[in-house]
């Protein structure tokens, strides 16, 4: 079974600065997807960014980018120019590839605090 580990229960960053959230995972599969989801307080979980394991290029979405290290099984999220609206729980998640029906396996989350 796959596992996802987020070792930072909480992170704090000053507005406009950069923060990196860590995630490691364990799998024996070669084909899979990795995701970062954001869950604001009392709001639904929304996708921030995703990465297919077969792609060597790191995904980027505006101020959000990932550092995907497949051999090290590491998938960190970098948020540049942090904004107050970025404050939320961030979950790293894994999904098997190949069109499998497996859902997502989540880490325990990192609570991101943005200091004004």
Q: Which residues in this chain contact other proteins in the complex, by CB under 8 A?
A: 4, 6, 33, 35, 37, 43-47, 50, 52, 91, 93, 95, 97-101, 103-109
CA distances from 25 to 15, 16, 46, 65, 84 (A): 29, 29, 20, 18, 29
Shorter beta-carbon distance to other proteins: residue 10 or 15: 10
Nearest distance in Å: CB 91, other proteins: 5
Question: Shortest Cβ distance from residue 19 to other proteins (Å)?
Answer: 19
Rounded to whole angstroms, how far apart are CA atoms 51 and 112? 21
Q: Which is nearer to other proteins, 78 or 95 (CB)?
A: 95
Find the shortest distance in angstroms from Cβ 97 to other proteins: 7
For other proteins, the closer of residues 36 and 79 by Cβ is 36
Distance, in Å, from the CA atom of 47 to the CA atom of 51, rounded to the nearest integer, reads 11
In angstroms, give the least distance from the CB of 102 to other proteins. 8
In angstroms, the CA 106 to CA 116 distance is 29
- 105, 94 Cβ separation under 8 angstroms: yes
């Amino acid at each position: 079974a796959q596992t996802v580990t987020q070792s930072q229960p909480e992170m704090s960053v000053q507005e406009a600065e950069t923060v990196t959230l860590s995630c490691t995972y364990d799998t024996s599969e070669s084909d899979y997807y990795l995701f970062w989801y954001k869950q604001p307080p009392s709001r639904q979980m929304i996708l921030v960014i995703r990465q297919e394991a077969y792609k060597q290029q790191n995904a980027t979405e505006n101020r959000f980018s990932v550092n995907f290290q497949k051999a090290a099984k590491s998938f960190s999220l970098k948020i540049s120019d942090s904004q107050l609206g970025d404050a939320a729980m961030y979950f790293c998640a894994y999904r098997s590839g190949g069109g499998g029906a497996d859902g997502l396996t989540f880490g325990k989350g990192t609570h991101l605090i943005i200091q004004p």
